[in-house]
């Protein structure tokens, strides 16, 4: 994945400017940095929940929403953008499950409507995923009947049901009671160990970041101020702002 000269403004507020970085296929990268430094915005741009105000994002070699033609920056047709985002999954802080659907219905929705899977195949896959996230017996429950940790594991299963090439995790444990955090992180660790999904992770769980990611990027005011293996960043931060941030969260 490449961010090329990315700019994102909300009105006059320039959140990201001249942002350039690449993430290799299969790489797992944790984004850290103070609140307001632009981490969530980066994930939302990749998910196309926000639109770029300038620059380009490519995912696995394909331009996501805009491409360069000669000197021009051209927006891609909506249909192409939708197709480009099919294999990008996101798990949110607040789960964002459909409350009026059962757990299984939440998971099979996109595979049926976006990938054109048969209901039987989608359901079979959903059951296997529910087993994988430790919720085999919850297929017919409504999300509101589940704990936050269980809802989050359903959200992870829902993202995996689309066979994502890229998985975006936005503070997925921040809204959970402390005793539920480990179950969710355990599921994510298993996914990290057993798949080659590219993962971009925004989290304050530094031990988790250390365990699953090969790389940590530290953001400050929309810029990457440090970028390296977790062991280096966490034990020998080069930048004063990184050291200060880490001493506050560790």
Which residues form the interface with ligand ADP (CB under 6 A)? Answer: 10, 13, 15, 33, 35-41
Q: How far is the CB of 36 from ligand ADP (least distance, A)?
A: 4
SS3 54: strand
CB-wise, 40 or 84, nearer to ligand ADP? 40
The 223-228 sheet, strands edge to edge: 88-91, 166-170, 198-202, 28-32, 215-220, 223-228
Least CB distance to ligand ADP at residue 99 (A): 23
CA dist 68 and 70 (Å) reads 6
Burial of 72 (0-12, 13-18, 19+ CB in 10 A): exposed
Dist. CA 144–CA 222, nearest whole Å? 36
Nearer to ligand ADP, 42 or 146 (CB): 42
Minimum CB separation of residue 35 from ligand ADP in Å reads: 4
The smaller minimum CB distance to ligand ADP, of residues 13 and 140, is found at 13
Backbone φ, ψ for residue 142 (5° rounding): -95, 145
Q: Which is nearer to ligand ADP, 15 or 123 (CB)?
A: 15
Distance of CA 201 to the CA centre of its chain: 6
Spatial contact of 245 and 33, defined as CB atoms under 8 Å apart: yes
DSSP for residue 224: E
Strands 66-69 vs 215-220: parallel, antiparallel or unpaired? unpaired
DSSP 8-state class, residue 134: T
CB of residue 137 vs ligand ADP: minimum separation in angstroms? 35
The residue (of 234 and 245) whose beta carbon lies closer to ligand ADP is 245
* Cβ 218 to ligand ADP shortest distance, Å: 11
In the complex, minimum distance from the CB of residue 94 to ligand ADP, in angstroms, rounded to a whole number: 14
Q: Which is nearer to ligand ADP, 12 or 179 (by Cβ)?
A: 12
């Amino acid at each position: 994945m490449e961010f090329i000269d990315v700019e994102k403004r909300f009105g006059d507020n320039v959140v990201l400017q001249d942002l350039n970085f690449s993430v290799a296929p299969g790489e797992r990268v944790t984004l850290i940095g103070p609140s307001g430094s632009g981490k969530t915005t980066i994930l939302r741009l990749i998910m196309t929940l926000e639109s770029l105000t300038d620059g380009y994002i490519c995912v696995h070699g394909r331009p996501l929403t805009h491409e360069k033609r000669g000197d021009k920056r051209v927006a891609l047709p909506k249909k192409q953008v939708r197709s480009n985002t099919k294999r990008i999954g996101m798990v949110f802080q607040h789960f964002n499950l459909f409350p009026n659907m059962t757990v299984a219905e939440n998971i099979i929705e996109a595979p049926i409507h976006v990938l054109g899977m048969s209901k039987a195949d989608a359901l079979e896959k959903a059951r296997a995923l529910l087993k994988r996230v430790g919720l085999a017996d919850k297929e017919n429950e409504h999300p509101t009947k589940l704990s936050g940790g269980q809802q989050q594991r359903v959200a992870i299963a829902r993202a995996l049901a689309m066979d994502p090439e890229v998985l975006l995790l936005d503070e997925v444990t921040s809204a959970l009671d402390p005793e539920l955090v480990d179950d969710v992180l355990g599921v994510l660790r298993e996914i990290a160990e057993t798949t080659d999904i590219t993962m971009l992770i925004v989290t304050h769980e530094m031990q988790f970041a250390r365990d699953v990611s090969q790389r940590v990027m530290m953001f400050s005011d929309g810029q990457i101020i440090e970028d390296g293996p977790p062991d280096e960043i966490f034990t020998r931060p080069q930048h004063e702002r990184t050291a200060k941030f880490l001493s506050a969260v560790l």
